[in-house]
Amino acid sequence: MIDEVVRRELFDFCWDVHVDGYTLLKTKTVKNRPPLVRPTRPRGDAEQDVHELDKERSRPALFITSGLPLEAQGFKLRRFAPLAETGLFREFAGTAPTPEGVLAFANKYGLLGGRVAAEIELDRQAGRAAALGEPLSAWRDQIFFIREALRLWEDTRAGNVERLAKVIRKREVSGDEGVEYQAEEHPSNEVGFPCWYEKIATRNVYSDILEAFPPGDLIKPALYLVQRWVNRHLEGNVSPLMLWDKHRLRLQLYVVPHNLLGALWLQLARAIEGDKMYRQCGACMKWFELSPDTARTNRKFCSNACRSRDYRERTAASMPAASRGPSADPPARREKPTSRRQQGKAGASRSRTRKGATK
């Protein structure tokens, strides 16, 4: 648990969540301030793309927003450290791309920030002008890309060629041969995921990369695509910064997220870099990173609190008071009033430095 305390101190990039929660609002972006959302449709005719985007901007759409005008004051915020939630990117990847799913995530962890954020029109009658909002469609795209990048990476790790073959294939289009990605079709596409298509490498584009792929191999092309997506989303959402180490003795170079979106993609990048393993907590269902220490890989719970809760619930449900059988949770562990992780959490929220970091 010591490493969690240290990690907490290093990783205290903090993010604010509106305590009163978020809502979905059908509205438009404020004129002349288009949302800086990357177009996520397949690359095609550039002119048509721009035209389509303009049309999209002028059409009302669903936005996730606190509903508070930009100049509002006196509202309550809850601050947390996203990088200390080691499996947060997995929770996001598993979020249902529905209004309910997206709102539930936002109410727990806040808006994504960065390029997804836009200024949106509020009800002008009430004398309010603009608020911060994020298009539901942009959330769906982000869930799609992080979910798909995670799946591709896990498939390459597991050598799951069968699954990879469903989305990565060799193809020749008008004389240009190459390897491409095509997202799996969703039934009637009711979930709203993009039908994303992307050339990974062809003879005309990135021929050197194409030549580096062993014939018939799907693992390398998948990893090149994951690399491209991760970098595309890290760009503008994280920055290298020189910060003091925790003893304030040495200056070190850290990678710091600017927003929640950056933190999520940074977590995925670190997971790939460190070949990290994750598990879903048996009590609260939260994803958490398994320590590389092999003794702990059979850990089933994200925290001592969750392990104790599970133990209490199991004993209360199944054991008559007299006959306590062998238990997975030795009573000694339960005697600690609070876990180190909880103490770390309290410590982090006390010292609210804006600069959070991962090294």
Asked if 84 touches Zn ion (CB under 5 A), the answer is no
How many angstroms separate the CA atoms of 332 and 343, rounded? Answer: 19
Distances in whole angstroms, Cα of residue 23 to Cα of each of 28, 109, 238: 15, 14, 27
Contact region with Zn ion (CB under 5 A), list: 114-122, 147-155, 295-303, 336-344: 295-303
| 283 binds Zn ion, rule: CB under 5 A | yes
Cβ 301 to Zn ion shortest distance, Å: 5
Amino acid at 237: N
* Residue 345 tokens, joined: 């959490």
In the window 191-220, what residues touch Zn ion (CB under 5 A)? Answer: none
Does position 88 bind Zn ion by CB under 5 A?
Answer: no
Angle, CA 185 vertex, CA 179 and CA 186 arms, to 5°: 150
Residue among 255, 277, 239 nearest 150 (CA)? 277
Contact between 284 and Zn ion by CB under 5 A: the answer reads yes
Query: 254: closest CA among 267, 266, 241, 245?
Result: 241
- Count the alpha carbons within 13 Å of 300 in the hemisphere toward its beta carbon: 9
* Binding segment toward Zn ion, per CB under 5 A, in 91-99, 166-174, 238-246, 298-306: 298-306
Query: Which among 115, 113, 121, 114 is positioned nearest to 30, based on CA atoms?
Result: 121
Nearer to Zn ion, 141 or 310 (CB): 310
Residue 105 vs 254, nearer CB to Zn ion: 105
Q: Which residue, 234 or 306, is less far from Zn ion as judged by CB?
A: 306
**Least distance from C-beta 18 to Zn ion, angstroms?**
24
| β-strands 130-135, 197-202 pairing | unpaired
Shortest reach from residue 251's CB to Zn ion, in Å: 36
Strand partners, 16: 79
| Binding flag, residue 152, Zn ion (CB under 5 A) | no
Please report whether residue 290 would count as binding Zn ion according to CB under 5 A: no
The answer to whether 269 contacts Zn ion (rule: CB under 5 A) is no
Shortest Cβ 125–Zn ion spacing (Å): 45
**Distance (Å, whole) CA 315 – CA 332:** 16
We find the least distance from the C-beta atom of residue 345 to Zn ion, in angstroms, to be: 13
∠ CA 243-16-89, nearest 5°, is: 75
Whether 307 contacts 301, CB under 8 Å: yes
Binding segment toward Zn ion, per CB under 5 A, in 72-80, 150-158, 239-247, 297-305 = 297-305
| Tokens matching residue 59 | 């059409």
Q: What string marks each residue from 304 to 343 as x (binds Zn ion by CB under 5 A) or -? A: --x-------------------------------------
| Residue 281 touching Zn ion (CB under 5 A) | yes
Size of the site for Zn ion (CB under 5 A): 6
Tell me which stretch binds Zn ion (CB under 5 A): 156-164, 186-194, 252-260, 281-289. Answer: 281-289
CA-CA-CA-CA torsion sign (80, 86, 92, 94)? negative
* Token representation of residue 4: 């969690």
Quick one: which segment of 41-49, 112-120, 163-171, 278-286 binds Zn ion (CB under 5 A)? 278-286
The nearer residue to Zn ion, 18 or 307, going by C-beta atoms, is 307
Q: What distance in Å separates the CA atoms of residue 4 and residue 348, rounded to the nearest whole number?
A: 11
Binding site for Zn ion (CB under 5 A): 281, 283-284, 286, 302, 306
